[in-house]
Amino acid sequence: MKKFLTALFTLFFPLLAVAQQPLVPSDTTAMRQVTFDEIEVLPTATKVKGMLLLNRDVQYELEGAVDNMYNFKYERAEKQFKSLRRRYPEHPLPYFLMGLSQWWKIVPTNIQTLKYDDAFFAYMDTTIQKAEAMYDEDDRNVEAAFFLAASYGFTARLHSERSNWRKATVASKRSLDFMEKAKAGNGLSPEFLFGEALFNYYSVWIPENYPMLRPVLVFFPNGDKRLGLKQLEYVANSGFYTGTESKFFLMKILANEEKNMSEALKVSEELALKYPDNAYFARFYARLLFVQGHFSKAERVSLGILNKIEQHMPGYEPVSGRYASYILAYINQHKYRDFEKAKEYYQSAITFAEMSGARDSGYFLNSYLNLARIAKQQQDRAAAKKYYAIVYKASDKKSSTYEEAKSYLKSNRKS
């Protein structure tokens, strides 16, 4: 439900406001003609002159900083971003990167922590201020439009996660407006395609999965889900600033929306190997390995996650601990038949779930279910009844877990 509301308020409610205005047809012809082996560069060199976003020297200088940010070496990354800010105090790029660094401190907690919200919003607001100044000077400045679209988009995302729907709606509409203006830069760099790629994909996927929204889309140009995926793949492989963000979304789309687990695993493995200290990438990789039966790799990655939690490494939170502990518990229960170790890990998964406020998660419920099954197998009726009672109370009444718990408790009522 939360995912639905987020999508609704950050994508389609802004479109309702736009629907009251004359529509300008969306032109993706240029992108359709671009091959994914090379990028079409517009012939007028003056279009790129002075663009920090496309400055190769700056990219070379920031490559290590961007990698440090995604590898959760925040202090190192931010030191370099601040150095860039000292040299370009009126450009939105350093402020946007500082904001993105705050965002990636929030991501590992499943967007739950509020600790970095103020800093994130402050940096995005400054990005908007600097980009607006550039845009006011020249309303054809696609670099300014890019930063306005991106900063408003990230702002809308966090506002929607915080249920600040009015602010999310306003920011989303502005993001979409500037994304349309930034399209003029599509041929200059893959960076400009990131927002359009997501819009193309989700503007089709959401109404496919939420039919009640279809009437809203009658007023707007059609998206193209296939094109959106191709654009996202292209940016993932070619973008400097948006490349990793594109891989992040591509990984999630392939796994969660497209159900293409093998391709999702390839992207996930690439991210996890390149950024071994990124807790989010590590746990996503561990989960994909686990669900596809690669238990040995899943075990190794999960043990690494728990080890980094013990070391209090940045970004290694209870959410990652819940994933890793459950995977290790299941492997010990079913692969090694080491029930004592399995019980320890299931208890650990429960503790991490409670620490992260995720008592309604599948890992929490299934940990108790498997503890009940182990107790039943070990003929520990007291423990089995205790665990099944929790499962019975927490399960959906139409689920098989509910029926299993109900059956056991009924059969062992007197014991």
- 351-370 pLDDT tens trace: 999 999 888 888 999 999 99
CA distance 325 to 349: 5
**CB distance 98 to 81 below 8 Å:** yes
pLDDT band at 165 (very low <50, low <70, confident <90, very high): confident
Q: Taking residues 111-122, what's their average pLDDT?
A: 97
192-203 confidence digits (pLDDT tens):
899 889 888 887
Residue for token digits 């927002």? 195
Q: What is the torsional sign of CA 330, 336, 339, 341?
A: negative
pLDDT value of residue 304: 98
Q: What is the torsional sign of CA 205, 209, 210, 213?
A: positive
Residue 325 one-letter amino acid = S
* Radius of gyration over every alpha carbon of the chain, rounded to an integer in angstroms: 24
366-392 confidence digits (pLDDT tens):
999 999 999 999 999 999 999 999 999
pLDDT value of residue 267: 98
Predicted confidence (pLDDT) at residue 331 exceeds the cutoff of 50: yes
CA distance 328 to 377: 19
C-alpha distances in Å from residue 338, one per residue of 33, 145, 296, 333, 384: 57, 57, 15, 6, 18
Crossing angle of helices 92-106 and 56-70, in 10° steps, is 20
183-223 confidence digits (pLDDT tens):
888 778 899 899 889 888 887 877 777 676 666 555 556 67
CA distance 147 to 246: 16
> How many Cβ atoms from other residues are within 10 Å of residue 208's Cβ?
11
What is the largest distance, in Å, between two alpha-carbon atoms of the chain? 84
Tokens read off for 394: 């927490």
Predicted confidence (pLDDT) at residue 78 exceeds the cutoff of 80: yes
**CB distance 165 to 188 below 8 Å:** no
C-alpha distances in Å from residue 299, one per residue of 8, 283, 337, 342, 369: 37, 11, 15, 13, 21
pLDDT band at 13 (very low <50, low <70, confident <90, very high): very low
pLDDT value of residue 220: 59
Domains of the chain: 2-259 (1.25.40), 274-411 (1.25.40.10)
